[in-house]
């Protein structure tokens, strides 16, 4: 399998945009026609999540290169939800999308190895077949090492939480240590892992999660982590705009993928689309919102250069 | 449902010991007779994990109060592994054990809510029915809040990573911030959540993971986090001994549960048990190792006082 960032860049150049669509099937936001009648019937909800997420994938697969299923919402439903997650990931792969599983996993030593080997790579030996996984850094460098090894061996990617998009993230991440915030120390470790895992491009298989809601820090981290690909959450519903994420890209328009979840998958309920589409034409709303986000990023960030060089 | 620590204390007093048995079914360590022939047959491995873990539960249920399945090893096998995990958790509950799922989960806002509601409490509304869940702190206090709310509403517990047992944990956890290590800042937040969630005893529903491999820090944290129940990993195979964990307990022998995983469940392969039991009599080895650990903790820690007050 080719290096993760080489595959990522190929997909982004083919589509001409760095949009990452997050699959976060929240029960209360699912289009009405898809909701099961019995709110406590977990397998019925799992079936609904699968139908909904596969329906999103069908719409966006011609437009974008990457999806990011959020494990938590599937896990919430118990084993039936995990079976649905596997089928959604499989559907995404079959449609030619790269699949980043957002699980924010990690543990010590051999347990981290189980997460890495279980989630990353093709099935088998992986149980899930994700192209990349999000990972938490609190357990330190030995907890990240199994992910580095597995990513290298299988052409997979890893995105380590560095600066998250939520307001409370600053509680620990912004603590000052030797004149720099904690997230900069975490970023420094991630950069060292990226340098060890470079593809044919200048980016490593180990990247960083950096929120769109902190534009100044995005630009600052771009400068000091030149080999880290950034997964940028927080666009749209969480408040990040195209101008906020401009600093995440390099001069070629590479180096970042920008995630929107609710703003795309539940677009049927956004004020600007509600009247035109509504819950029955939710897939058309997904397409409209995806095209709108692509246009915003192409207009206001270096990602606009991606389409110039393609075709 | 009664408060988590009230239920925990009742179980610990009934058994007279604070031993927590970790269910970490590593493929290479499974007793030979249980291993599937085809190493790539993930559903067959899931079946083997279920058989093995339920066999461990049958042996230890009369001896200890709490088990801790490690999610990673089940997740490694894909959806079939998650179905096996659910059946193992169910078997543990049926045998009267408290079940702490070791998932080290967390995410922002509504995603953290999905983890909390999915894992904690009875089925339904929970998809899994765990009595408690381990949680990572890097995302800050707003990421912990949904766990606090759900734990309160459902009589469940949460253990937040504070000072982990692995060597590399110190990379970030020991960074000095305003004269104290980062883990002390995390501990301070966890203590504040414990104070908000007290049971009829002096302990809150929100506790802390503090490794047995750092005995000095265990005692130090016991003093400054008086309302946090400690989940202490690292006993046995990772090097922690009974004397190392003595500082985790209060004067009544309460306030901590001490986890051993490999040292108990794979005892058939330990030098002191290998000749007597071996892979075919692995359940007898599990029982011998459990009884030995109970004796060690009763002899060398305040947990010895638990059996005095019982009966």
Strand partners, A23: A69
**A170 has a chain B CB within 8 A of its CB:** yes
Provide the CB-side half-sphere exposure for B216 (13 A, CA).
0
Contacts of B179 in chain A (CB under 8 A): none
pLDDT score, position B308: 65
**A282 has a chain B CB within 8 A of its CB:** no
Contacts of B173 in chain A (CB under 8 A): 138, 140
pLDDT band for position A279 (cuts 50, 70, 90):
very high
Reported for B285-288, long-range contacts at CB under 8 A and 24+ positions apart, including other chains, are B286/B56, B286/B59, B286/B60, B287/B59, B287/B60, B287/B63
Q: Average pLDDT, stretch A5-33? A: 97
Distance CA B285, CA B279 (A): 9
Contacts of B138 in chain A (CB under 8 A): 136-138, 161, 164, 172-173
Nearest CA in chain A to B209: A139
Percent with pLDDT over 70 in chain A: 99
pLDDT score, position A273: 97
Strand partners, A22: A68
Res B311 pLDDT > 70: no
Q: Average pLDDT, stretch B257-262? A: 97
pLDDT score, position B309: 52
Res A42 pLDDT > 70: yes
Would you state the structure tokens that stand for residue A45, as one six-digit string?
A: 């909800």
**B260 has a chain A CB within 8 A of its CB:** no
pLDDT band for position A307 (cuts 50, 70, 90):
confident
**B198 has a chain A CB within 8 A of its CB:** no
Q: Which of A65, A62, A7, A52 is nearest to A25 (CA)?
A: A52
Res B236 pLDDT > 90: no
* List of residues 6+ apart from A139 with CB closer than 8 A: A106, A107, A108, A112, B104, B161, B164, B166, B168, B169
pLDDT band for position A308 (cuts 50, 70, 90):
low
Res B7 pLDDT > 60: yes
Distances (CA, A) of B146 to B3, B109, B111, B143: 17, 7, 9, 7
Q: Do B114 and A73 touch (CB under 8 A)?
A: yes
Would you state the structure tokens that stand for residue A113, as one six-digit string?
A: 């190895």
Distance CA B133, CA B119 (A): 7
Distance CA B301, CA B230 (A): 14
Q: Average pLDDT, stretch A187-194? A: 98
B161 neighbors B139 (Cβ within 8 angstroms): no
> Which is it for the CA torsion A297, A303, A305, A310, positive or negative?
negative
- Count other Cβ atoms within 10 Å, centred on residue B117: 20
Q: How many CB pairs under 8 A join A and B?
A: 202
pLDDT digits 0-9 by tens, B128-172: 999 999 999 999 999 999 999 999 999 999 999 999 999 999 999
pLDDT digits 0-9 by tens, B168-214: 999 999 999 999 999 999 999 999 999 999 999 999 999 999 999 99
ipTM: 0.97
Q: Which domains, and CATH codes, for chain B?
A: 4-306 (3.20.20.70)
B36 neighbors B53 (Cβ within 8 angstroms): no
Q: Which of B20, B32, B50 is nearest to B236 (CA)?
A: B20
A66 neighbors A22 (Cβ within 8 angstroms): no
Average pLDDT score over chain A: 96
Q: Do A175 and B186 touch (CB under 8 A)?
A: no
Distance CA A151, CA A284 (A): 36
Contacts of A115 in chain B (CB under 8 A): 72, 75-76
Q: Do A173 and B142 touch (CB under 8 A)?
A: no
Note the Cα B282 to chain centre separation in Å: 22
Which residues of A are identified as catalytic? 104
Radius of gyration for chain B, computed over Cα atoms and rounded to the nearest angstrom:
18
Question: Residue B251 — left, alpha, or beta (φ > 0 → left; ψ -120 to 50 → alpha)?
Answer: alpha
pLDDT score, position B160: 98
In B111-140, the residues whose Cβ lies within 8 Å of chain A are 111-112, 114-115, 117-119, 123-128, 136-140
A294-307 residues labelled b (16+ CB within 10 A) or e (exposed): bebbbeebbbbbbe
């Amino acid at each position: 399998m080719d290096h993760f960032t080489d595959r990522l860049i190929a997909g982004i150049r083919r589509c001409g945009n760095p949009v990452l669509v997050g699959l976060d099937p929240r029960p209360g936001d699912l289009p009405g026609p898809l909701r099961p009648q019995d709110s406590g019937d977990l397998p019925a909800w799992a079936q609904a999540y699968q139908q909904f997420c596969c329906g999103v994938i069908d719409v966006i697969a011609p437009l974008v290169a990457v999806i990011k299923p959020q494990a938590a919402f599937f896990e919430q439903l118990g084993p039936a939800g995990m079976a649905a997650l596997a089928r959604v990931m499989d559907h995404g792969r079959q449609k030619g999308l790269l699949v980043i599983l957002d699980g924010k996993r990690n543990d010590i030593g051999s347990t981290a190895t189980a997460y890495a080997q279980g989630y990353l790579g093709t099935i088998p030996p992986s149980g899930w077949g994700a192209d990349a996984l999000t990972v938490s850094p609190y357990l330190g460098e030995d907890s990240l090492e199994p992910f580095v090894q597995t990513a290298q061996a299988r052409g997979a990617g890893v995105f380590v939480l560095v600066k998250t998009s939520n307001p409370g993230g600053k509680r620990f991440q912004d603590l000052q240590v030797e004149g720099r915030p904690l997230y900069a120390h975490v970023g420094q470790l991630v950069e060292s892992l990226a340098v060890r895992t470079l593809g044919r491009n200048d980016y490593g298989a180990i990247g960083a999660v950096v929120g769109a809601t902190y534009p100044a820090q995005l630009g600052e981290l771009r400068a000091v982590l030149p080999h880290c690909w950034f997964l940028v959450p927080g666009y749209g519903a969480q408040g990040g705009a195209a101008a906020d994420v401009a600093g995440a890209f390099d001069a070629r328009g590479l180096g970042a993928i920008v995630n929107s979840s609710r703003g795309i998958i539940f677009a049927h309920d956004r004020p600007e689309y509600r009247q035109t589409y509504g819950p029955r034409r939710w897939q058309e709303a997904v397409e409209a919102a995806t095209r709108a986000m692509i246009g915003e990023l192409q207009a206001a960030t270096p990602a606009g250069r991606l389409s110039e060089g393609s075709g």
